[in-house]
Structure 1
Amino acid sequence: MSTTDDAAAEREERLKSALWYSIGQFVDEECLTCDLNATPQFIGALTELVYTQIANTSHDLELFSAHAGRSVITPADVMLLARRNEKLEEYMQMELSAIRAAEGRRVGGEPVVTATAGGGGGAKKRGRPSGTGGGRGRGKGKI
C-alpha cells in the first residue's frame, strides 16, 4: 500500500470515529429522554448506515455538478438530490430563501433592492466602485 492510500485510510477511520462519537452522543441524549437503552452494536450499525448515506450523497452531488460542467456544488445540485422527497424539497426551498434573504439576494442571485426611510442602505454593493476603472475595457490602452 502506498503512503497516499495509508493516509486516505487513516483519514477515513478518523472521520468514522468522529461520526461514531457524535451519533453516540445523540443516541445517548435521546435514550435518556425516552428512558431507553442503546447497545454499542446499535450505535455502530447506525454509524455505518449514516456513513454510507453520506458517501452516496456526496458522490451524487459531485456527479450532478460535473454533469452541469461545474467543479463547485451549488444549491441547485442539492435540490436535485431532494427531488423525490417533496416535504424535504419544500423545507429546503424555504431555508434557501431565508438564507438568500438574509444575504440580500433573490433566487437568481441578483441583489434585493430595498428602500429605507433614511435613503441609505439597500443591498450589499458588489464589484468595483464607480470611477476606479479607465472605462476603456480590457486591453485598451491610453490614446
Structure 2
Amino acid sequence: MAAAESEERALLVQRLRAAVHYAVCGLCQEVAEDKAVQFSKQSLAAIAELAFRQCETFARDLEMFARHAKRSTITTEDVKLLARRSSSLLKYITQKSEELASSNMEQKEKKKKKSSASKGGRMPREQETPVTESEDSNMA
C-alpha cells in the first residue's frame, strides 16, 4: 500500500514539475520576444527547477504559518506573511485580498436582501421555481 502511495506521489510531483516547466517556458518565450533575446534549453530548465523548488519552500512555509496559528487552513494572512519581504508583492496581495473581501460582502448583502424580500411576499406556489441541488450547495 505504501509503495503505491509513494508511486502516486512521485507521479504527481512529476506532473507538477512538468506544469511549472511549461509555464516557465511560456513566460520566457514572452520575455524573449519582448526583449529580443534567446534562452537556452539549459537556462529554461534551471529557471523551471528554481521556480519549482521555490514553490515547494513557499508551500512548506505556508503550512508552518497555519500550523503555528493552530489552524489547518492556510489564510490570506499567511500568504501576506510569506510575501512580507517584497513590498510590491505584499501591496498587490493586500489589494486583491481587500477586493475579494468587499466583493464577498456585496454578494452577502445581495443574498440577504433577496432572502428578506422573498420572506416578505412569497410568490404563489405555481410560480415558484425549484432550487436545484447545485444552487443549494452554492448558498452554503
Q: Measure the CA separation in 1 of the matches of 2:73 and 2:82.
A: 15
Q: CA deviation at 1:23?
A: 1.0
Amino acid at match of 2:10: A
What stretches of structure 2 of length at least 5 have no aligned partner? Answer: 120-140
Q: CA deviation at 1:102?
A: 1.6
What stretches of structure 1 of length at least 5 have no aligned partner? Answer: 106-110, 112-121, 132-143
> Residue 23 of structure 2 aligns with which residue?
22
> Residue 44 of structure 1 aligns with which residue?
45
How many percent of aligned residue pairs carry the same amino acid?
A: 28
Q: Measure the CA separation in 2 of the matches of 1:14 and 1:35.
A: 31
Q: CA deviation at 1:123?
A: 4.8
Q: Write out per-residue CA displacement over residues 56-89 of structure 1, whole angstroms, 9 at most, x where no aligned residue.
A: 0010000110111111101111111122223322
> Residue 92 of structure 2 aligns with which residue?
91
TM-score, scaled to structure 2:
0.72
TM-score, scaled to structure 1:
0.70
Q: Measure the CA separation in 1 of the matches of 2:53 and 2:35.
A: 27
SS at match of 1:37: coil
8 Å contact kept, 1:16–1:51: yes
More helix by share: 2
> What is the CA RMSD across the aligned residues, in angstroms?
2.3
Q: CA deviation at 1:33?
A: 1.9
Amino acid at match of 1:73: I
Matches within 5 A, 1:1-143: 2-104=3-105, 122-125=109-112
8 Å contact kept, 1:104–1:124: no
